[in-house]
Structure formats: C-alpha cells, structure tokens
Amino acid sequence: MKKELGYGVALVGALAGAGALTAAMIRKKKREEIYHEAELKAMNELDEMMSENGDDALDCDTCSCAEACAAAAEQAEVDETEPEEQPADETEEEPSAE
C-alpha cells in the first residue's frame, strides 16, 4: 500500500513539475512576442521620423548652417589626407662593450 502511494505521489509531482514548466515556457514566449512587437513598432516610428526629416536634413541648400557644415567637411578631408606624424625614435643606443 505504501509503495503504491509513493508511486502516486511521484506521478503527481512529475505532472505538477511538467505543468509548471509548460506554464513558464508559455509565459516566456508571450513576453518575447510582446518585446518583438514593441521593437518593430519602435523601428517603424524611427523610419517614419527619418523619412520625414531626412530630405530636409541632407539638403545643404536649405540648411541655415551650410557654411559651418562645409568647413567641417573640408577639415575632415584635410585630416584624412595628412599623414600621421611618425613618433620619434626613442630607443637609446646601447654602449658598445669593449
């Protein structure tokens, strides 16, 4: 009788564990779906904002700071074309052993 009761308790415990695992997996999947939907919505909103402001932001003719933008672009080109300074050779000459 005790042996049968032990098997019954073990079976109920195993079923409860499987049920809890299934419930946890369902909740995790639901959270992932919600996160994914929110991520897609944010990406769409960002794309819309970029497309609304993209034409004006890239048009230097209508930009009020076109001169500063051009100066910064020229400086960037100069920085790229200038060779980097070679560091001074800091190795000291060792005295020759006689």
Amino acid 73: pLDDT: 77
Element (H, E) at 97: none
pTM exceeds 0.95: no
Amino acid 69: pLDDT: 74
Model confidence at 4, pLDDT cuts 50, 70, 90, reads confident
Distance CA 32, CA 36 (A): 6
Distance CA 64, CA 69 (A): 10
Element (H, E) at 94: none
Give me 49's structure tokens: 């904002």
Amino acid 5: pLDDT: 80
Show me where the domains of the chain are located: 7-72
Amino acid 21: pLDDT: 96
Residue 85 scores a pLDDT above 70: no
Instruction: Kindly provide the residue ranges of all beta strands, DSSP E only, lying in the chain, ordered along the sequence.
Output: none
User: Kindly report the CA angle at 40 between 37 and 43, in degrees rounded to 5?
Assistant: 150
